[in-house]
A and B are shown apart, each in its own frame.
Chain A
């Protein structure tokens, strides 16, 4: 599975009752993500990629932004 699908699956896994999640989905405007949802997404990403995320991902606006961040870390 490529990194995009792994991120999408992680996000979908913790955002129940949400509309369709795509790479272009905006966390706030489209997926209605609040601070706890964001923590859940970060946790799911940590589990999926076996990494520890200390930063708060404040500049992450879309699902694709998470992929970009992970790629920058060498994934």
Chain B
């Protein structure tokens, strides 16, 4: 045994950043998500964050968080099963259940933890998990931890999924896992049809609606509302740190499932509960969505279209997005970084995706123009994108 060898193994490959002269990770951000984001001391247009509705710096949300801190302090210093289950926590569980139209909800410190903890709690070696090829890493890691048989199906391919379900009757339980919005490319899952297939074969659907909650549906209630899925009997997870502009994750479903998770999901039971400020902040965001969603969504859609048009005009290969996301297909990781750098140099912060976040050589640069931006800022972004395209 040699500790020097141990440290030698902890090597970060930074060759891509060296070749391209740009490292998009762990940038130093010196402000909140304001009209301009301060990055390394420079004012940038934020087309990178998931602040879809622009509520992360909303005065009412901040005020709700301040009042919660004044009443409860900054932390309850305990897990939900111990001292962390304050009335704010309980009320938010009920509000979230009502918002997405499901029976019960439990709130975790992140959706990564929700997705990581869910499968090892509910599935075992006698079960099969069938999962869309392109789901988020949190789901893949969670599924692998369950130790059961895994069968990926081709992205959004119902025929492939049904073929697998037809051949899987010998398992104790089959779970079908997908996401509502595939955030690197902006495609939506045909979830209504997936739920119907699950009904047909007795499988349990599980959907991660992280990029759908607060964005999809007539009232922002997410994928179930968007695709008019009524009486959903499956499991639902979502992030509270994207459109809902705070942090945390949720798992919703039938009372029996959620009650079980509350006692047996280690990721919940052994994690300090979300802080009062965050709980109050999410609740305030839900209040705003209930009243103002139509106007906010209109802006979000309009900005998405404007950015999409500028990308097309600039000659970029843009995926046909069904969500308020613009995804530029860049291919190799080098080209992906170089485009992100060009945008950065001209004042736009974007999100580059390279393997393993996406399949090899299917790199992308994602742009999300949140509803909190002004039309003037979006105009600037459009002009920059066109200039980069022309060059």
Contacts and interface: CB of A to CB of B under 8 A. Distances in A.
A37 B151 CA distance: 10
A62 interface: no
A56 to B, nearest CB: 12
A5 interface: no
Contact of B164 (A17, A32, A36, A43): A43
A43 B130 CA distance: 11
A34 B137 CA distance: 13
Contacts of B355: 34
Contacts, number: 29
B303 to A, nearest CB: 30
Interface stretch (B40-48, B49-57, B271-279, B356-364): B356-364
A60 interface: no
A16 interface: yes
Given A16-B154, A43-B152, A32 B359 contact: yes
B150 interface: yes
Given A36-B133, A43-B164, A47-B167, A14 B360 contact: no
B360 A34 contact: yes
Secondary structure call for the A interface: helix
Contact of A34 (B160, B164, B359): B359
Nearest to B140: A36
A40 interface: yes
Residues of A in contact with B, size category = 10 to 19
Interface in B332-372: 355-356, 359-362
Contacts of A32: 359-361
Contacts of A43: 151-152, 164
A34 B113 CA distance: 24
Contacts of B160: 14
Given A34-B355, A47-B167, A39 B360 contact: no
A37 B154 CA distance: 10
A49 to B, nearest CB: 12
Nearest to A15: B154
B152 A34 contact: no
A40 to B, nearest CB: 5
Nearest to A16: B154
Contact of B150 (A16, A17, A39): A39
Contacts of B359: 32, 34, 37
Contacts of B360: 32, 34
Interface in A24-57: 32, 34, 36-37, 39-40, 43, 47
Contacts of B164: 43
Given A32-B359, A36-B140, A43-B151, 9 more contacts: A16-B154, A32-B360, A32-B361, A36-B152, A39-B150, A40-B154, A43-B164, A47-B163, A47-B167
Of all A-B residue pairs in the complex, the 5 with the closest CB atoms, nearest first, are A32-B360, A43-B151, A40-B152, A36-B152, A39-B152
